[in-house]
Amino acid sequence: MLVVMDSDATAEQIQTVIDRVRELDLTPHPLPGATRTAIGITGNTAAIETSLFETLPGVKECIRVTKPFKLASREMHRDDTVIRLPQGTFGPGHFVVIAGPCSVENEAMIQRTAEFLMENGVRFLRAGAFKPRTSPYAFQGLGLEGLKILERVRQRTGIGIVTELMDSEYVSAVADAADVIQIGARNMQNFSLLRKVSQVRKPVLLKRGLSATLEEWLMAAEYVMSGGNYQVILCERGVRTFSDHSRNTLDLSVIPPCKSLSHLPIIVDPSHGTGRRAYVPAMALAALAAGADGLLIEVHPDPDRAMSDGPQSLDFAGFQKLMDQLQRVARVLDKSLN
Amino acid sequence: MLVVMDSDATAEQIQTVIDRVRELDLTPHPLPGATRTAIGITGNTAAIETSLFETLPGVKECIRVTKPFKLASREMHRDDTVIRLPQGTFGPGHFVVIAGPCSVENEAMIQRTAEFLMENGVRFLRAGAFKPRTSPYAFQGLGLEGLKILERVRQRTGIGIVTELMDSEYVSAVADAADVIQIGARNMQNFSLLRKVSQVRKPVLLKRGLSATLEEWLMAAEYVMSGGNYQVILCERGVRTFSDHSRNTLDLSVIPPCKSLSHLPIIVDPSHGTGRRAYVPAMALAALAAGADGLLIEVHPDPDRAMSDGPQSLDFAGFQKLMDQLQRVARVLDKSLN
Amino acid sequence: MLVVMDSDATAEQIQTVIDRVRELDLTPHPLPGATRTAIGITGNTAAIETSLFETLPGVKECIRVTKPFKLASREMHRDDTVIRLPQGTFGPGHFVVIAGPCSVENEAMIQRTAEFLMENGVRFLRAGAFKPRTSPYAFQGLGLEGLKILERVRQRTGIGIVTELMDSEYVSAVADAADVIQIGARNMQNFSLLRKVSQVRKPVLLKRGLSATLEEWLMAAEYVMSGGNYQVILCERGVRTFSDHSRNTLDLSVIPPCKSLSHLPIIVDPSHGTGRRAYVPAMALAALAAGADGLLIEVHPDPDRAMSDGPQSLDFAGFQKLMDQLQRVARVLDKSLN
Amino acid sequence: MLVVMDSDATAEQIQTVIDRVRELDLTPHPLPGATRTAIGITGNTAAIETSLFETLPGVKECIRVTKPFKLASREMHRDDTVIRLPQGTFGPGHFVVIAGPCSVENEAMIQRTAEFLMENGVRFLRAGAFKPRTSPYAFQGLGLEGLKILERVRQRTGIGIVTELMDSEYVSAVADAADVIQIGARNMQNFSLLRKVSQVRKPVLLKRGLSATLEEWLMAAEYVMSGGNYQVILCERGVRTFSDHSRNTLDLSVIPPCKSLSHLPIIVDPSHGTGRRAYVPAMALAALAAGADGLLIEVHPDPDRAMSDGPQSLDFAGFQKLMDQLQRVARVLDKSLN
Nearest Cα of chain B lies from the Cα of C101 at a distance, in angstroms, of: 22
pLDDT at B47 exceeding the cut of 80: no
> C2-63 and C83-337: same fold?
no
Q: Which of A166-180, A295-309, B75-89 has the weakest average pLDDT? A: A295-309
Per-residue pLDDT 10s for chain C (338 aa) are: 788 888 888 999 999 999 988 888 888 888 877 678 888 887 777 667 777 788 788 888 887 767 778 899 998 888 999 999 999 999 999 999 999 999 999 999 999 999 999 999 999 999 999 998 888 888 889 999 999 999 999 999 999 999 999 998 899 999 999 999 999 999 999 999 999 999 999 999 999 999 999 999 999 999 999 999 999 999 999 999 999 999 899 999 999 999 999 999 999 999 999 999 999 999 999 999 999 999 999 999 998 778 777 788 999 999 999 999 999 999 999 999 97
C133 interaction partners in chain D (CB closer than 8 Å): 191
User: Is residue A294 within a helix (H) or strand (E), and if so which, with residue range?
Assistant: strand A294-298
Q: Which of D69, D217, D245, D332 to mutate to test the interface with A (most CBs of A within 10 A)?
A: D245
Nearby residues of D83 by Cβ (< 8 Å), 6 or more positions away? D89, D90, D91, D203, D231, D233, D265
Q: Mind listing the pLDDT tens digit for each residue in B205-225?
A: 999 999 999 999 999 999 999
Distances (CA, A) of C96 to C87, C318, D16: 10, 18, 38
Q: What is the reported pLDDT for C205?
A: 98
| CATH code, D2-63 | 3.30.70.1140
Burial environment of residue D155 by CB neighbours within 10 A (0 to 12, 13 to 18, 19 or more): exposed
Nearest CA in chain D to C138: D47
Q: Are B311 and B280 in contact (CB under 8 A)?
A: no
Q: Mind listing the pLDDT tens digit for each residue in A179-237?
A: 999 999 999 999 999 999 999 999 999 999 999 999 999 999 999 999 999 999 999 99
User: Is residue B183 within a helix (H) or strand (E), and if so which, with residue range?
Assistant: strand B180-183
ipTM: 0.91
Q: Let me know the angle formed at the C-alpha of C326 by C324 and C328, rounded to the nearest 5 degrees.
A: 75
Q: What is the reported pLDDT for B72?
A: 94
C140 interaction partners in chain D (CB closer than 8 Å): 191
Topology adopted by domain D83-337: TIM Barrel (3.20.20)
Band the pLDDT of D304: cuts 50, 70, 90.
Answer: confident
Calculated CA dihedral for residues B256, B262, B267, B269, nearest 10 degrees: -80
Q: Given CA atoms A152, A154, A156, A157 in this order, what sign does their dihedral have?
A: positive
Nearest CA in chain B to A139: B47
All structural domains of chain C with their residue ranges = 2-63, 83-337
| Rounded CA separation C153/A235 (Å) | 62
Q: Which of A130-144, A237-251, B222-236, D42-56 has the weakest average pLDDT? A: D42-56
Nearest Cα of chain D lies from the Cα of C335 at a distance, in angstroms, of: 34
Q: Mind listing the pLDDT tens digit for each residue in C101-140?
A: 999 999 999 999 999 999 999 999 999 999 988 888 888 8
B143 interaction partners in chain A (CB closer than 8 Å): none
| Rounded CA separation C13/A232 (Å) | 34
- B56 or D196: whose pLDDT is higher? D196
Q: Let me know the angle formed at the C-alpha of B148 by B143 and B152, rounded to the nearest 5 degrees.
A: 150
Q: What is the reported pLDDT for A125?
A: 98
Nearest Cα of chain B lies from the Cα of A135 at a distance, in angstroms, of: 6
C243 interaction partners in chain B (CB closer than 8 Å): 213-214, 239, 251, 253-254
Interval B144-162 mean pLDDT = 97
Interval B69-76 mean pLDDT = 88
Distances (CA, A) of B262 to B253, B333, C274, D9: 15, 21, 18, 18
Nearby residues of B268 by Cβ (< 8 Å), 6 or more positions away? B235, B236, B237, B250, B252, B255, B283, B284, B287, B292, B294, B295, B296
Alpha-helical runs (H) found in D82-170: 107-119, 144-157
pLDDT at B237 exceeding the cut of 80: yes
Burial A181-193 (b: 16+ CB within 10 A, else e): bbbbbbbbbbbbb
Would the CB atoms of A190 and B191 count as touching at under 8 Å? no
Nearest CA in chain B to D6: B75
Q: What is the reported pLDDT for D46?
A: 66
Burial environment of residue C293 by CB neighbours within 10 A (0 to 12, 13 to 18, 19 or more): buried
Interval A142-170 mean pLDDT = 96
pLDDT at D29 exceeding the cut of 90: no
Q: What is the reported pLDDT for C164?
A: 97
Would the CB atoms of C286 and B282 count as touching at under 8 Å? no
Burial C112-135 (b: 16+ CB within 10 A, else e): ebbebbeebebbbbbbbbbbbbbb
Nearest Cα of chain B lies from the Cα of D244 at a distance, in angstroms, of: 9
pLDDT at B26 exceeding the cut of 80: yes
Q: Are C85 and C284 in contact (CB under 8 A)?
A: no
Q: What is the reported pLDDT for A24?
A: 85
User: Is residue B155 within a helix (H) or strand (E), and if so which, with residue range?
Assistant: helix B144-157
Mean residue pLDDT across chain B: 92
Q: What is the reported pLDDT for D47?
A: 67
CB count within 10 Å of CB C145 equals 12
Q: What is the reported pLDDT for A204?
A: 98
Q: Mind listing the pLDDT tens digit for each residue in A308-321?
A: 777 889 999 999 99
If phi > 0 it is left, if psi is from -120 to 50 it is alpha, else beta; for residue A309 that is left
C291 interaction partners in chain B (CB closer than 8 Å): 282
Q: Mind listing the pLDDT tens digit for each residue in D30-67?
A: 887 777 888 888 777 766 777 778 878 888 888 776 77
| Rounded CA separation C283/C305 (Å) | 24
